[in-house]
Structure 1
Amino acid sequence: MGAGKVHRPDVDAPRGGSPATAPSGSGYGGDTGRPVVAVLCGDHRPNGMAKVEQEAEVRYANAEGLADALRGADALFVWDFLSTAVPDAWHAADRLRWLHIASAGVDPVLFPELRSSDVVLTNSRGVFDTPIAEYVLGVILAFAKDLMRSYDLQREKRWQHRETERVGGKRALVVGTGPIGRAIATTLRTAGMEVSGAGRSYRANDAHFGTVYPTDELSEHVGSADYVIAIAPLTEQTSGMFDRHVFRAMKNGARFINVGRGELAVTGDLIEALDTGQLGGAALDVFDNEPLPADSPLWTMPHVLVSPHMSGDVVGWRDSLVEIFVDNFTRWAAGEPLRNVVDKDLGYVPTGTSRV
């Protein structure tokens, strides 16, 4: 692997958090003539890194050691994607060119210094699409068929006949029209549901959603949906988008499903909407404070399903995340376009693109 295929310090300025000069005799940050890759991994290193370890100097680090690992590093792999350690260690990123995060959401690393730098940011888009879509369909079926109540009655050894709801013909509004949102729409349509979407701008005749409404008009369109699914990326524009105003505009008895980010919803307003009966239930996989505190009323509220940020985590998901990074490392080392390049102004990979 040629050193110049990653970067040439004689023609490229460093793109990390601090100015630096290239070390003499090497096109990389290390002393071996190979690129240096820092990996933020906590106590558990990712498996499947043999190819990268053969081609690069790999520095595995936890949050406390990240700054040391970043000095002279050319790339950073954020394997511990829930960690908030990167902003605090950014001052040491004196040569960084590329940052890859092992998640679809990039909000843990999209801080102002990274936004303003020339460091290329990529994510792991594509791993979680189908699993999260299956999760959403699963919780919709659980609500419609009253499965949670059936389980409670079984434990009480009570034989209580009930009638349940149809799924076919129900209306779903998917808020967030990226790849995961499209997978959700396709899956729900297969179950016979009527699906529309909400995104940055209005679109008619969308292949996956039919109609896409602008999210800044969300309260005008949630009222027709039996299920509202939140899968939008977390940005300044989407933070707190599900507030008291939107919940009160929803159909009485509608269900709210959040598989995006906990910060998309104002938790107090959500609890109020559930407590008053405005919402008929909620399936929540993400929360603004994780783990969900033991004293949160969401744990024990009726018709609320709590899962610990696991809607996309199926058997083999960690291997898939490493495979995406290794593939991107191979492209990066060869000077080829990367997959899943994030627009740092938007906060996600623009629809219809995967490379630069």
Structure 2
Amino acid sequence: MSIPRATGVVVRTTEHAPANAKAGMNASSPTVVVLHDGNHPPAMTDVERLATVRYATEDTLAESLGGADVLFVWHFLSEAVSEAFSAADELRWIHVASAGVDRLLFDALRDSEVVVTNSRGIFDRPMAEYVLTTVLALAKDLHTSVRLQDHKRWQHRETERIEGKKALVVGTGPIGRAIATQLSAAGLSVVGAGRTSRAEDPDFGYVHASEALHEVVGEFDYVVLAAPLTESTRGMIDAEMLARFRPSARLINVGRGQLVVQEDLVEALVAGTIAGAALDVFDVEPLPEDSPLWEMDNVLVSPHMSGDTLGWTEELVALFTTNLAGYAADDRLRNVVDKHRGYVSGSESI
């Protein structure tokens, strides 16, 4: 990717710099604070050419924000921004290195003029491939084969076809659309669930309104959660909703763990209310060792990695760098989040 270069820029990078660190800088050069977890993001050379960069951890974030224009939330699991936000006296833009922004948004930020952008587009295809993989693994009982292989047991079984199975993708943003494309190509019949119902959608064919989810969820063999976490989606899959699933249905969650009431899901899996689940996200992460989900034969557990493929961190930095170059040139930012809805404006979701 070719990144525009800023000219005449003096670059200084520090772990945490005082608020007057911009003194002597080119007036057009922004100051960027990078919130990290102890590991700096890779491939930051272009960012450091475009701006003064201050690297900060959660402990040093507040003292680093004074006088900064931009905050790059590399440590996207952190909730430290809300505590340090009052120190951000010149902040204009926050970019988060994830698609979800639920951990970042808080009332003071929503009510401010600070623009929020996310990393939409990096994770779409990898997460769609993960979902297709889990559909195949569940249908072909691959997780059981691995367990049997560990014990050198030869146990013949019959498995299922996925061709002609019906899948509902909850969340019709870019990730949900990539999932629909992958599952459709594999032979499944796919529809979506989003904020409003509509026919003739280019990726889903038909989209059900999310408020009618309880009426239609029982029609599907696979229910895939790819929705952002908002007040309207939190706990959407609870005991009442799970009771409406087909007993042969599987739940796949690549959205957020809090979309599901985890205790209700465990009970449904034990009772056979649903046939199985593939879970990449959980209400508490890492998943505690005493969670019964670890021991369930009909559950696939992965550690929040469905979108993390080789080179993904470099892609995240490249996206931020492109946006930073636009910011420095007063161009329009990409992936601007509607801070009240919780996702990118113009991206239809649930």
The answer to whether TM tops 0.5 is: yes
- Distance 1:276-1:72 versus aligned 2 partners, 3 A rule: same
What does residue 25 of structure 2 align with? Answer: 32
- Distance 1:50-1:2 versus aligned 2 partners, 3 A rule: closer
Retained in 2: the 8 A contact 1:343–1:350?
yes
What does residue 281 of structure 1 align with? Answer: 276
State how far apart, in whole Å, the 2-side matches of 1:235 and 1:30 are. 41
Retained in 1: the 8 A contact 2:50–2:325?
no
In the TM superposition, 1:148-297 aligns within 5 A as 148-297=143-292
Secondary structure at 1:53 match in 2: helix
Retained in 2: the 8 A contact 1:30–1:72?
no
Retained in 2: the 8 A contact 1:153–1:160?
yes
What does residue 99 of structure 1 align with? Answer: 94
State how far apart, in whole Å, the 2-side matches of 1:173 and 1:350 are. 23
What does residue 61 of structure 1 align with? Answer: 56
State how far apart, in whole Å, the 1-side matches of 2:24 and 2:275 are. 61
Retained in 2: the 8 A contact 1:30–1:73?
no
What does residue 308 of structure 2 align with? Answer: 313
Query: Pick from 53, 59, 73: which aligns with 1:78?
Result: 73
Give structure 2 stretches of 5+ with no counterpart. Answer: 1-5, 9-18
- CA positional deviation for 1:351: 3.8
Secondary structure at 1:181 match in 2: helix
Query: Pick from 100, 106, 110: which aligns with 2:105?
Result: 110
Retained in 2: the 8 A contact 1:35–1:74?
yes
- CA positional deviation for 1:31: 4.6
Residues 242-265 of structure 1, C-alpha deviations (whole Å, 9 max, x = no match): 111110011112100000000000
State how far apart, in whole Å, the 2-side matches of 1:340 and 1:29 are. 27
What does residue 327 of structure 1 align with? Answer: 322
Indicate the structure whose relative CO is greater, using CA pairs within 8 Å and at least 6 residues apart.
2
- Distance 1:51-1:93 versus aligned 2 partners, 3 A rule: same
State how far apart, in whole Å, the 1-side matches of 2:310 and 2:148 are. 30
- CA positional deviation for 1:160: 1.6
State how far apart, in whole Å, the 1-side matches of 2:155 and 2:102 are. 46
Residues 296-350 of structure 1, C-alpha deviations (whole Å, 9 max, x = no match): 1111112111100000000000000000000000000000011101111111013
Secondary structure at 2:308 match in 1: coil
In the TM superposition, 1:105-144 aligns within 5 A as 105-144=100-139
What does residue 42 of structure 1 align with? Answer: 37
**Identical positions, percent:** 58
State how far apart, in whole Å, the 2-side matches of 1:351 and 1:279 are. 34
Is 1:350 aligned with 2:345? yes
Is 1:304 aligned with 2:290? no
Retained in 2: the 8 A contact 1:227–1:257?
yes
Aligned residues: 331
Q: TM-score normalized by structure 1?
A: 0.90
Q: TM-score normalized by structure 2?
A: 0.92
State how far apart, in whole Å, the 1-side matches of 2:236 and 2:131 are. 20
Retained in 2: the 8 A contact 1:261–1:287?
yes
Secondary structure at 1:320 match in 2: helix
- CA positional deviation for 1:240: 0.5
- CA positional deviation for 1:29: 5.5
- CA positional deviation for 1:211: 1.0
Secondary structure at 1:187 match in 2: helix
Secondary structure at 1:299 match in 2: helix
State how far apart, in whole Å, the 1-side matches of 2:32 and 2:139 are. 48
- Distance 1:120-1:165 versus aligned 2 partners, 3 A rule: same
- CA positional deviation for 1:352: 5.3
Give structure 1 stretches of 5+ with no counterpart. Answer: 4-21
Secondary structure at 1:133 match in 2: helix
Secondary structure at 1:65 match in 2: helix
Residues 37-73 of structure 1, C-alpha deviations (whole Å, 9 max, x = no match): 1000121111121122123111000000000111110
| Amino acid paired to 1:50 | T
- Distance 1:285-1:352 versus aligned 2 partners, 3 A rule: closer
Secondary structure at 2:263 match in 1: helix
Cα RMSD after superposing both structures: 1.6
